[in-house]
Structure 1
Amino acid sequence: MATPFGFAGARTTPFVLASMDARGGAAAQEAIALIGGALNAHIALHDAPTALAALPDPVPVAVFDLDGAPDELAHDVAAIVAMLAQAQAWRCVVAMGVAQIDLVIAALGDAADEVHLLCAPDQAEWIGTLAVVAASGAGVVRAADGQREELARLSADVARIAELLARLTGETGGGRAEDHHRAFAPAPAKSVITASTVRDVLRARRLRDRFFGDGLFEDPAWDMLLDLFAAQLEGARVSVSSLCIAAAVAPTTALRWIGKLTAARLLVRAPDPEDGRRAFVALTDAASDAMHRYVATLAEARLPFV
């Protein structure tokens, strides 16, 4: 474990780490060393605005470990990351605790899709994410067409190493988020379907894990769409952390899927007008219409809703 893996791009990529203090971010520091990267600077989150502005070229990968940061500081640093990411100046990685999901996503806003997000990451997730970021060049999250095949191969290698590390260390991807649904005016019904029926489908899907074990039936995209569909029928709003629960996967994986579904224009994020430190997620109009048409088509064909 002391020998760096030496992923392509890591040795030529400078990393900058911001954590609560100089002793913090130990897991990130270890991951950078393991992939053969160089930690050019380690700064305290409190000093991030001034310290980041003073950093010389070349443009680094900026890693922000918000674990342990007070809410106000985590929110302010995430807002800084949003500006950096939207300007496409740096590649940014943000790690957070489960309890910080909503306030960090709210502060990032639309820039959440341009940032690599980690939630309660284990060592394997740190290594995998930093290796991919180092290899992705200046393209932030979305690689150019010519890079995708190379990144796909790298991701496969990272996955194998991550699995090995997980077995060796016995670490897991962190805790669970707290569920928060908030009421608002219900959407008009478009098909003969109730929220109770959708919730029953979700409960039935979770029962499979009880009998066959976790990890065999992961389908976070569909689980998220079902949860949001049920919430729409109930007249409820769904927070980002609540949607991570519905995904029934590790929080980091759930956040990635939220990003994918948002990019596919199936989900939309919106800030809470009453609390700027929370963001809600909902189906887009197109996704809602597709769900209703899907249910109606199943009913017409006399097929089960699963």
Structure 2
Amino acid sequence: MAGTTPEDAVIAAGGELRGRVSWADACVRLERQGPLTVVLAEARGVSDAAIAPVLPLLDAIGRRGEARIVATLDFEQIDLLSATLGGPGVDLLCAPSEAERVAALCLAGMRDGARVHDVSRNAEAVRLQRLNEEVARIAETLARLTRGETDTRYSERPAIASVNAPAQGYRAPPPTTDGAEVTARDIREAIRARRLRDQYFGKGLFEDPGWDMLLDLFAAELERAQVSVSSLCIAAAVAPTTALRWITRMTEAGLFERQPDPFDRRRAFLGLSPRASVGMRNYAAAVGRGGLAMV
């Protein structure tokens, strides 16, 4: 792609550039700015001190639906940005290519059922739709496990649920009492076995970031450990931007919960929701009862 600047990306996405402002002046500009469709926040290479004051305002804009926020960042900035920009209306791109930036801007600007005709942009939209459907499938599976349903073939519940509508009024059932007990070591061994596949078949062939992150958070829960967003991105074993999108969808689906760091407001931890925790425990118990290996 010919363009290499943020301005070029906006134009390539079919947008109209309303202006460019420094991080130092961003708060004043955004508070006075009229209606916008998308805000592109280029954080790569910018100091934490310059970025931190602007993030709450960007998050508020995204949550209120006033504009979509597309933020680019370096891997080292994941914890800083994700601690605040964790709500709806935000797309975090870690070290994106120009094509990824343009695709994200294009998708963010799609309103009122607008259609995208570019093949590469359509492909990105399809990938995001599949991600939503896969997360919904995982959420439904864990919900069945919390109810003690192990055979899903005859379930009358829909296979695809709304990712943006987590179950309300959830109450965890009592823990299983069949004597089956899973340990953090069991989960860590399962994770190591999954990573061994990459050594023999190459990375990318068996990508399953949702499950990898569930296993990592389940092991951390059993260890009484906390997991940062950047650490969970590593556990997902996919590109950071892909992992961040999975984290967003899993949080929206009610499977992950953000836990602010009481000692550093610039960082947040992630943990399993009560529903996801019970589902994982019941799954582990069912595996143990069957004498099967955790996969």
The TM-score with structure 1 as length reference comes to 0.73
Unaligned runs of 5+ in 1: 4-25, 138-146, 163-188
Q: What pairs with 1:111-130 in structure 2 (closer than 5 Å)?
A: 111=87, 113-130=88-105
- Please, which of 40, 46, 50 is the counterpart of residue 24 of structure 2? 46
| CA distance in 2: counterparts of 1:231 and 1:155, whole angstroms | 38
- Please, which of 198, 213, 221 is the counterpart of residue 224 of structure 1? 213
Partner of 2:122: 157
| CA distance in 2: counterparts of 1:218 and 1:156, whole angstroms | 22
Could you tell me whether the CA contact under 8 Å between 1:128 and 1:158 is conserved in 2? no
Q: What does the per-residue CA deviation read over 1:224-261, in whole Å, with 9 as the maximum and x for residues that have no partner? A: 00000111111100001100000011111111101111
Partner of 2:276: 287
Shift of 1:75: 1.6
Decide whether aligned partners of structure 1 residues 27 and 216 sit closer, same or farther in structure 2, where only a CA change above 3 A counts.
farther
Unaligned runs of 5+ in 2: 128-174
Partner of 2:71: 94
| CA distance in 1: counterparts of 2:281 and 2:118, whole angstroms | 38
Shift of 1:104: 1.1
Q: What does the per-residue CA deviation read over 1:100-159, in whole Å, with 9 as the maximum and x for residues that have no partner? A: 1111121235x2x3311111111121021111112235xxxxxxxxx49x6799776244
Shift of 1:27: 3.9
Q: Which structure features the higher share of strand residues? A: 1
Partner of 1:141: none
1:75 aligns with 2:52: yes
| CA distance in 1: counterparts of 2:231 and 2:124, whole angstroms | 26
1:108 aligns with 2:85: yes
Decide whether aligned partners of structure 1 residues 2 and 151 sit closer, same or farther in structure 2, where only a CA change above 3 A counts.
closer
| CA distance in 1: counterparts of 2:120 and 2:54, whole angstroms | 28
| CA distance in 1: counterparts of 2:42 and 2:288, whole angstroms | 48
Aligned-partner residue type, residue 105 of structure 1:
S
The TM-score with structure 2 as length reference comes to 0.76
Could you tell me whether the CA contact under 8 Å between 2:209 and 2:238 is conserved in 1? yes
| CA distance in 2: counterparts of 1:283 and 1:153, whole angstroms | 38
Aligned-partner residue type, residue 300 of structure 1:
R
Shift of 1:209: 1.2
Q: What pairs with 1:136-151 in structure 2 (closer than 5 Å)?
A: 136-137=111-112, 147=113
| CA distance in 2: counterparts of 1:152 and 1:267, whole angstroms | 34
Q: Percent identity?
A: 43
SS at match of 2:102: helix
Q: What pairs with 1:124-273 in structure 2 (closer than 5 Å)?
A: 124-137=99-112, 147=113, 157-159=122-124, 191-273=180-262
Q: When the two structures are aligned, how many residues end up with a matched partner?
A: 245
